[in-house]
Amino acid sequence: MKISITNLIIPINKNQNESIYNEIEKLGIQSKEIKELKFSKRSIDSRKKNEIKFVYNIEIEVNDCCQIPKKENIKIVTEQTTAPRIATFDLNAKIAVIGTGPAGLFAAYSLCKYGYKPIIFERGESVEDRDISIEKFIKTSQLNPNSNIQFGEGGAGTYSDGKLNTRIKSGYINEVFEILLECGAQEQISWDYKPHIGTDVLKTVITNLRNKIIALGGVFHFNSLLTDIKVSNGSIESIDITELDKSSINPQLKVTNYKVDKLILAIGHSARDTYRMLHKNNIFMENKPFAVGARIEHPREFIDKLMFGKEYQNDLLGSATYSLTYNNKEENRGVFSFCMCPGGVIVNAASQEGGTLVNGMSYSDRKRPFSNSALVVAVKENEFGDHLFSGMEFQEMIERKAYKMGGGYTGIFQNTIDFINDKPSSKPLDSSYEMKLTPSNLNELFPKFITDNMKSALNHWNTIYKGFVSESANLIGPETRTSAPVRIVRDNFGESINAKGIFPIGEGAGYAGGITSAAVDGLKIVDLSFTKEV
């Protein structure tokens, strides 16, 4: 018999395993009755810096004759069963998946498990080759517009923190985690309150998932860009794939037309050329709000002390994270931290020539000297124009302006005090950013409503966390790719509302935000539209 126990509170300076068993006994269950114990969740309560605690949810298996105490935090676990599913269509159906981010990879894997043999096209390179292109860009500023921090196997998330926490509620989340664990992710992701993998481990996970898909009959084509589609009588008929020369940043080798029965679009939020091609072919889309701003970077030790007090060096706690929000009630506008990377680095995330931007990334150990997070302001649809691609053009405008201000693929920076005082920074700074940094004035980069709200948020947070604004707290920007600027509209089964056989999924389609929710979307749409219950 399995039971769950929630809200077991253990001070961090106590032996954790021993204390957990002691707490269980206090609830009325003897240790000798426990056959197996596993964590369901572990979070940190650091509200009192001198009394930091772990809060555990656990699941234990006990003898069937064990008396279960009647406590609010103890429940018998009932096994959840789901009806088996089988493929709906002919297993020889021609199914193409565009994109190998989490949505595309998990959709392809699910298709293969049901017996389909999808062909997967990725404009960028495999993880192994993508690493080489990114390293070349860092050293030489020579950008490959199709294989970079945004594009390539694993999607933009490959070079991020590998965060898995999500706000969505879905029965598919456990399945996503199980697949990640099978592919080499750390066991800790199954119970950590803010699970992350780290870019170093995530690359191995992605490679292993690719190999699983290939073993099940899926076929991958890297350096293969979707450049056109043909819709006939309201249904997808074929696609044009342009083969790219990975040895050069521009030449196109050849275009091949593929007949397809179904097309899964998992293009990612930076595929601006693909959005424009889809619009040309009358695929219905709508614009959506997003957020822009900059990365804020502090010394990791400062953030750790801020969040954990005297326990900041306790190895059990790891590097500290934060999640901050500010609401401008007059404008009904949110300002928030986003994609916080403790002990991480800031990277140049450009994917278009003549435009520059940044993102955050961290490794599995999160022990680099700096911690960074996006500091972004919500941008409403009516603030960037009234046509479909107004938001996308707003992003591009900021990226091009930053490129010009910095003189290339640099990070333009300003310390937070200078930013608030509208004074250009001039001092060189210590930073995790590996490419050139250019002192600048971010007040000249963004529209005033963005900088005003960033300043209000910084001042507000500085009253809560003293020192959050300082000369050693630096803004590096811009951060523009927080989410897709458009949504490819679909019906309740995940199919385009005006082109049968096309299934937009994931972050680029406007239906996810992050690794887990994108992977969930891939699994969900395959179940909804490609399978049925037996």
Q: What is the pLDDT of residues 465-500, one digit of tens each?
A: 999 999 999 999 999 999 999 999 999 999 999 999
Percentage above 70 pLDDT, the chain = 99
Q: What is the pLDDT of residue 251?
A: 62
Query: Is residue 201 within a helix (H) or strand (E), and if so which, with residue range?
Result: helix 199-215
CA 520-169-154 angle, 5° bins: 25
From the list 136, 160, 142, the residue with the least C-alpha distance to 150 is 160
Q: What is the pLDDT of residue 241?
A: 97
Q: What is the pLDDT of residue 382?
A: 80
Residue type, 221: H
In which band, very low, low, confident or very high, does the pLDDT at 356 lie, cut at 50, 70 and 90? very high
Contact by Cβ (8 Å): 435, 348: yes
Q: What is the pLDDT of residue 527?
A: 97
Query: Is residue 452 within a helix (H) or strand (E), and if so which, with residue range?
Result: helix 448-464
Question: In the predicted model, what is the mean pLDDT of the chain?
Answer: 95
Euclidean distance between CA atoms 452 and 420, whole angstroms:
9
- Orientation angle between helical segments 199-215 and 173-182, nearest 10 degrees: 90
Say if residue 299 is preceded by a cis peptide, omega within 30 of 0. no
Tokens at 101, concatenated: 């981010």
Lowest mean pLDDT among 186-200, 417-431, 497-511: 417-431
β-strand 262-265 against 95-98: which pairing, if any? Answer: parallel
Q: 85-286+489-533 domain in CATH 3.40.50.300?
A: no
Measure CA of the first residue to CA of the last residue in the chain; give whole Å.
Answer: 29
Sequence ranges of the domains in the chain:
2-76, 85-286+489-533, 289-479
| DSSP string for 352-386 | STT---EEEE--TT--SSEEEEEEEEEE-GGGS-S
390: left (phi over 0), alpha (psi -120 to 50) or beta: alpha
Domain at 2-76: CATH architecture: 2-Layer Sandwich (3.30)
- For the chain, the maximum distance between any two Cα atoms, rounded to a whole number of angstroms, is 73
Q: What is the pLDDT of residue 22?
A: 95
How many CA within 13 A on the CB side of residue 246? Answer: 20
**pLDDT(313) > 70:** yes
Mean pLDDT, residues 104-114? 99
Digit-coded pLDDT (tens) for 237-283: 999 999 998 665 556 679 999 999 999 999 999 999 999 999 999 99
From the list 228, 161, 229, the residue with the least C-alpha distance to 199 is 161
Digit-coded pLDDT (tens) for 364-420: 999 999 999 999 999 988 888 889 999 999 999 999 999 999 999 999 999 999 999
Q: What is the pLDDT of residue 63?
A: 87
How many CA within 13 A on the CB side of residue 25? Answer: 9
- The pair phi, psi for residue 219, each rounded to 5°, is -125, 130
Tokens at 50, concatenated: 């001198």
Tokens at 410, concatenated: 């640099």
- Orientation angle between helical segments 173-182 and 102-113, nearest 10 degrees: 90
28: left (phi over 0), alpha (psi -120 to 50) or beta: left
- Orientation angle between helical segments 272-280 and 390-406, nearest 10 degrees: 150
Q: Where are the alpha helices (DSSP H) in 216-281?
A: 272-280
**pLDDT(167) > 90:** no
Euclidean distance between CA atoms 24 and 58, whole angstroms:
10
Q: What is the pLDDT of residue 65?
A: 81
Helix (H, G, I), strand (E, B) or coil at 96: strand
From the list 347, 368, 362, the residue with the least C-alpha distance to 411 is 347
Euclidean distance between CA atoms 301 and 312, whole angstroms:
8
Helix (H, G, I), strand (E, B) or coil at 235: strand
Q: Where are the alpha helices (DSSP H) in 382-447?
A: 390-406, 416-420
CA trace torsion 514, 516, 521, 522 (10° rounding)? 110
Tokens at 168, concatenated: 């969505």
Euclidean distance between CA atoms 101 and 121, whole angstroms:
11
Other beta carbons within 10 angstroms of residue 310's beta carbon come to 10
Euclidean distance between CA atoms 409 and 407, whole angstroms:
7
Helix (H, G, I), strand (E, B) or coil at 522: helix
- Orientation angle between helical segments 102-113 and 199-215, nearest 10 degrees: 30
Contact by Cβ (8 Å): 437, 431: yes
Q: What is the pLDDT of residue 426?
A: 83
β-strand 437-439 against 411-415: which pairing, if any? Answer: parallel
Tokens at 56, concatenated: 């555990």
Query: Is residue 299 within a helix (H) or strand (E), and if so which, with residue range?
Result: strand 290-299
From the list 91, 86, 152, 159, the residue with the least C-alpha distance to 124 is 152
Q: Which residue has the higher pLDDT, 253 or 31?
A: 31
Residue type, 6: T
